[in-house]
Structure 1
Amino acid sequence: MKMQFLPLPPLPLGLKNGVAFSHHDSVFAGLGSMGEQWLMLDLNEQQHWQPKAPFPGVARNDAVCVPVRGGCYVFSGAGTTTELGYATVLVDGYYYDCQQDSWHLVTEDIPVGLLGGAGIAIDDSLYFVGGYNKVQFDGLMAQLSALERQASPDLKQATLVEFMSRPIEEYQWNQQIYRFDCKSQQWSRVAENPFQANCGAGVFRSDGTLTLVEGEVKPGLRSLHTKQLTFEAGQLTSSSYLPSIVEDDPKHEGLAGAFCGDVNGLWIVAGGAYFIGSQSNYRTEQYYSHQGLSKTFTDNVWCFDGCEWQHAGQLPQGCAYGAAVTTSQGMAMIGGESPQGDAMTECYLLI
């Protein structure tokens, strides 16, 4: 596959851990490191990002963004409320209307932590998989913000080490699949997720099928699998593993925060972050699998043709945790986090 990276107008400020979606020939992006800001870029004019109606809720990272006809839904994420003063998993969701340039609160009672989860819209319903355990996340943030730990770096570090030194199953990430009826605004449980619960997976959506590429299975440890779920008539009708990147690269450590999109009918997974050595550490029961390891921000670009993954090239630089959307003109890549931890303003159109 011959790739071209065409520069798009840069963001006015860096975006990481935010969300994005496309509507016709426009790209909308915001939240994460941009706070409540919400911007739009017309891909036909490509002049500059235009400010749109700001997000009305608590500013948040790693929310679930589900595009629908005419707009998108933004659910959950992690944000700091004025009441608590530390980050918690949020349980509200909003709808953004492109034509009206307006936000509407649609739920304040998400029944499970969806931080870092994924979703798909089918007919008048949204389906959600994965997500961080709210009780555990909120509890850790409360501990770390306590005065005694703020005053003692050693105690704070010990708390983190204890939390990170657990096997996958003890994190109790959301193992259920939930449905949200957009008309009645009611929740229901569809089924148990047949795959290991994920956070930060790459997402592809098409015709009632949700495909998840890798992502975390516990803090610091990535999945090596590509998983596919198919829904019909409100039910989970099939699930299967697809070929995985590790089959092409045995040293592959998995990816979290990768850029994902469709280019000329091919699935693209670009960038992402991982810890070299974390897989072997976990296999030898070193459950704090990324302890002492440096996070790698890859520049690799992978392409899936329906049969296998192949290495297709390199990004202009290694990065992760930005946003990517499929458009009629190519895959728009928006912002990201650099290896230095900075929120990036650079944007590209991959064709």
Structure 2
Amino acid sequence: MALAIMMASFAANASVLPETPVPFKSGTGAIDNDTVYIGLGSAGTAWYKLDTQAKDKKWTALAAFPGGPREQATSAFIDGNLYVFGGIGKNSEGLTQVFNDVHKYNPKTNSWVKLMSHAPMGMAGHVTFVHNGKAYVTGGVNQNIFNGYFEDLNEAGKDSTAIDKINAHYFDKKAEDYFFNKFLLSFDPSTQQWSYAGESPWYGTAGAAVVNKGDKTWLINGEAKPGLRTDAVFELDFTGNNLKWNKLDPVSSPDGVAGGFAGISNDSLIFAGGAGFKGSRENYQNGKNYAHEGLKKSYSTDIHLWHNGKWDKSGELSQGRAYGVSLPWNNSLLIIGGETAGGKAVTDSVLISVKDNKVTVQN
């Protein structure tokens, strides 16, 4: 392991990007023509953009998101427009809920519109990627179960006994009883219609990292149920318009992480960071469904590369982090924001590059 870590180097140049205007975690982001867009999460309804090619790089505030503050939304650029999918926020009655709506942002007019389009299931903890002009969504929590949990908490008010009972009831189930989404949905922006595009032969996850290149997309780790991660890696192969699901060797074993970061640099598949509960997998396998009860959330510094059909630990982040934004930039993995130990939101960015299986980390 020491040898693998020595393969990584830390670049000492100027900061990758200027600090985000606010500490930024649990939001979403996308990149289009070298301009980065980030918003929601700890930024509330705010959105910002940054031209990465500008001589004087700075974040510029955009029109506020009209759907209220959201966490765990996803976003994607298609044909010059930014689409934002779902997320978790407050409804008109002030209750926390999962949304299944779609908003579109037009960069030319700096304006938002809510589309008359709803996914057939809630979108939170899901992933989104673009292939052949369509957005694809998979994974995420079950809308009915998640919304019901927060309805119960709202009714409990400040009754700690009732809250403890609700939490025990919510977390003390097997993974399959949470019905995480294992369907693959496609969204066609030209018709604003959702379609069935397939389903995983295994199980759905929440908070997975996603990256795609050409006809292949990878879903890495994530939650198998609330508080329990998986070390699984799934590959979706669209080659020949005949979707195939493959399962690759696991990573971050045995416990796995959620909220990690994934990207590609010089054809090397990268997986970094994430958060999880060490010992939760063993607890679950020993029959304890509330597997993370009493465990402290830990944040991974590991950087893994997929090489010759297996994962190699090939470097480390300067500090563990999770739940930021992963974007492709300069043939590298760009990480913006995230949270570190204790859930603290950060404002910096990290760039991970790979050349000849050597990892370079620029802070």
TM-score relative to the length of structure 1: 0.91
CA-atom RMSD in angstroms: 2.0
* Contact 2:266–2:331, Cα closer than 8 Å, also in 1: no
The residue aligned with 2:106 is: 97
CA shift in 2, pair 1:46/1:286, >3 Å: farther
The residue aligned with 2:309 is: 307
Give the aligned residue type for 2:119: I
Query: 1:252 deviation in Å?
Result: 3.6
Alignment match of 1:116 (pick from 122, 125, 138): 125
The count of corresponding residues between Structure 1 and Structure 2 is: 343
Query: 1:68 deviation in Å?
Result: 2.9
Greater shift, 324-333 or 196-205, is seen at 324-333
Give the aligned residue type for 2:307: D
CA shift in 2, pair 1:107/1:252, >3 Å: farther
Identity fraction in percent: 31
Superposed, 1:120-131 pairs within 5 Å as: 120-131=129-140
The residue aligned with 1:210 is: 217
The residue aligned with 1:77 is: 87
Give the aligned residue type for 1:53: A
CA shift in 2, pair 1:333/1:175, >3 Å: closer
Q: In structure 2, the residue corresponding to 1:39 is in which secondary structure? A: strand
Give the aligned residue type for 1:302: H
Deviation per residue, 1:83-140 (Å, 9 max, x gap)? 2212100121122333443333234422102211112222342222112111111111
Deviation per residue, 1:224-250 (Å, 9 max, x gap)? 1110113368x652110122225xxxx
Deviation per residue, 1:242-272 (Å, 9 max, x gap)? 22225xxxx5411100122222322221211
Superposed, 1:1-351 pairs within 5 Å as: 2-4=8-10, 7=15, 8-44=17-53, 45=55, 47-81=57-91, 83-146=92-155, 149-231=156-238, 237-245=243-251, 251-305=253-307, 307-328=309-330, 330-351=332-353
* Contact 2:251–2:311, Cα closer than 8 Å, also in 1: yes
Q: In structure 1, the residue corresponding to 2:339 is in which secondary structure? A: coil
* Contact 2:334–2:352, Cα closer than 8 Å, also in 1: yes
Q: Distance in 1 between matches of 2:77 and 2:287?
A: 39
* Contact 1:222–1:274, Cα closer than 8 Å, also in 2: yes
Q: Distance in 1 between matches of 2:207 and 2:133?
A: 25
Q: In structure 1, the residue corresponding to 2:340 is in which secondary structure? A: coil
Q: In structure 2, the residue corresponding to 1:77 is in which secondary structure? A: strand
Q: Distance in 2 between matches of 1:193 and 1:87?
A: 28
Give the aligned residue type for 1:228: E
* Contact 1:16–1:344, Cα closer than 8 Å, also in 2: yes
Give the aligned residue type for 2:114: L
Q: In structure 2, the residue corresponding to 1:92 is in which secondary structure? A: strand
Give the aligned residue type for 2:235: Q
Q: Distance in 2 between matches of 1:210 and 1:30?
A: 24
Query: 1:159 deviation in Å?
Result: 0.5
For structure 1, the residue ranges without an aligned partner over 5 or more in a row are none
Q: Distance in 2 between matches of 1:337 and 1:135?
A: 28
Give the aligned residue type for 1:80: K
Give the aligned residue type for 1:187: W
Greater shift, 324-333 or 162-171, is seen at 324-333
CA shift in 2, pair 1:293/1:159, >3 Å: same
